[in-house]
A and B are shown apart, each in its own frame.
Chain A
Amino acid sequence: MIKPDAALKSISFATFLGVCLELAGDELTAHLPFAPHLIGNPMIPALHGGVIGAFMEITAMAQLKRDGNFDHIPKPIDVNIQYLRSGKPLDTYAQAVVKRIGRTISSVEVSAWQETRQSPIATLQAHFLMD
């Protein structure tokens, strides 16, 4: 496992969450190791929905940077998150697919999972401003 994107390190918030990027061939997978500060509901316990959302946003940005060869950080215009399952206190993974890279706007879809990729815990669609 390697961490291909040193640029992610410059994002303090990615470090705060503990996100790392893993590259297998040309396939990028974002990995969010479980940590106690990511819990939203301590009684269940479940990951905070905002953590899952933020993790998928970072995944989208990383994929976009890679596909589009950008050296700056793309800004989200709008983000749509669907929560499918409760986030357990486990490691979470996510992969993004860039649907379109335009001169001004790009469109990305992300899926996040824990135990099996076939049972995603959340999905995200987002538009990013490219300038």
Chain B
Amino acid sequence: MTQLFSDMFGTIIDNTPYMKAIGAYYAGASEDGITMAMPWREDLVGDPETRVIASGVVTALLDNCCGMAVWDRINAFKAVATLDLRIDYMRPALPGHELKVTAKCYKLTRSIGFVRAFAYETSVDDPVAAAQGAFIVTALKSDATGVKS
């Protein structure tokens, strides 16, 4: 069986301090893309009245998952850095529910990966947020401008 780079994603997430801090984990790869998940947590709440998770937490999860989708498309470990990320927040995430993000790199050029992602609780058809991002892919040896996981 061929070794897929996505087999490493669980380990990579577990070794990304900020992802560990927010309790995010790798939830698998499918035709729809790379999926990550994060259980609801009190200390990540952005609005004490509604107990909704802060939009900034969703931002981080989307960013991270998009970057991994580029890795998945390359199927190798290269330096991937976010160039820009646009996020539309459609509705508040449900308090107490686990949040999922699925990201797919739908186009990869020599230096840029273009990614789409959705954040949701149960179905992509009922999204909390959508993201569109462009990621720079560089060779590993060069000290890139913003290598991130």
**Closest CB in chain B relative to A62 CB, distance in Å:** 12
A118 CB within 8 Å of chain B = no
Stretch at the interface among B2-10, B15-23, B109-117, B119-127: B15-23
Scan residues 66-82 of chain B and give those whose CB is less than 8 A from a CB of chain A.
67, 81-82
Known A10-B48, A54-B60; judge A83-B21 contact (CB<8 A): no
Interface size on A (CB < 8 Å)?
A: 41
Interface size on B (CB < 8 Å)?
A: 43
Once the chains bind, are A41 and B16 in contact (CB under 8 Å)?
Answer: yes
Q: Of A14, A37, A54, A86, which contacts B17 at CB under 8 A?
A: A37
Give how many A-B residue pairs fall within 8 Å (CB-CB): 151
Once the chains bind, are B88 and A77 in contact (CB under 8 Å)?
Answer: yes
Scan residues 42-70 of chain A and give those whose CB is less than 8 A from a CB of chain B.
42-44, 46, 48-51, 53-55, 57-58
**Closest CB in chain A relative to B71 CB, distance in Å:** 13
User: A55 — which chain B residues lie within 8 A by C-beta?
Assistant: 56
Q: Which residue of A lies closest to B50 (CB)?
A: A73
Q: Which residue of A lies closest to B130 (CB)?
A: A78
Once the chains bind, are A51 and B48 in contact (CB under 8 Å)?
Answer: no
**Closest CB in chain B relative to A100 CB, distance in Å:** 19
List 27 contacting pairs A-B, 8 Å CB cutoff, sorted by A.
A11-B47, A12-B45, A13-B45, A13-B46, A13-B56, A16-B21, A16-B43, A36-B17, A40-B17, A41-B149, A48-B16, A48-B148, A49-B146, A49-B148, A50-B57, A54-B54, A73-B46, A75-B55, A76-B89, A77-B88, A78-B87, A79-B59, A80-B85, A83-B81, A86-B81, A86-B144, A87-B146
Besides the known contacts A76-B89, A85-B146, 18 further A-B residue pairs in the complex with CB atoms under 8 A apart: A11-B45, A11-B54, A13-B46, A15-B43, A16-B21, A16-B44, A39-B18, A48-B18, A49-B82, A53-B56, A53-B59, A53-B63, A57-B59, A75-B92, A77-B88, A78-B89, A79-B55, A87-B146
